[in-house]
């Protein structure tokens, strides 16, 4: 049973536009959420995170939104750049655990 779901395996966006990547979760005990970016043949790189006490966190071009009632979070990238082309993983953690539960990833392609 997958607790973290990324239902869109791929997304294609034009350079300069907004990219919106979505993530849903089922475990109401999750209280911390993270986004990672992964290039081929490399390890994931931490991008941005959000605690369940917040509904928005922003870092430069990246903003994460959390809707706890819907058990949904999203990552907004604006403006999108060709270098943003990668696989993006959503991850979640429950309080007092040391584990991250990952989604299956969304492949973002930003074209000129």
Partner 1 sequence: EADIYQTPRYLVIGTGKKITLECSQTMGHDKMYWYQQDPGMELHLIHYSYGVNSTEKGDLSSESTVSRIRTEHFPLTLESARPSHTSQYLCASRKGLGTYEQYFGPGTRLTVT
Q: Using CA atoms, how far apart are residues 56 and 66, in angstroms rounded to an integer?
A: 6
Residue 109 lies near partner 1 (rule: CB under 8 A): no
Q: Using CA atoms, how far apart are residues 72 and 64, in angstroms rounded to an integer?
A: 11
Considering the complex, state which of residue 41 and residue 112 has its C-beta at the smaller distance from partner 1: 41
Considering the complex, state which of residue 53 and residue 98 has its C-beta at the smaller distance from partner 1: 98
Residue 99 lies near partner 1 (rule: CB under 8 A): yes
3-state secondary structure 93-110: EECCCCCCEECCCEEEEE
**Residues lying near partner 1 in the complex (CB under 8 A):** 2, 4, 9, 32, 34, 36, 41-46, 49, 89, 93, 98-100, 102-105
């Amino acid at each position: 049973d997958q607790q973290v779901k990324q239902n869109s395996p791929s997304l294609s966006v034009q350079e300069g536009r907004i990219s919106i990547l979505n993530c849903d979760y089922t475990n109401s005990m999750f209280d911390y959420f993270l986004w990672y970016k992964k290039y081929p043949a490399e390890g994931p790189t931490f991008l941005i995170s959000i605690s369940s006490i917040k509904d928005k966190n922003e870092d430069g071009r990246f903003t994460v939104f959390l809707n706890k009632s819907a058990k949904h979070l999203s990552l907004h990238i604006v403006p999108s750049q060709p270098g943003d082309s990668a696989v993006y993983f959503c991850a979640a953690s429950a309080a007092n655990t040391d584990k991250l539960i990952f989604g299956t990833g969304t492949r973002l392609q930003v074209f000129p």
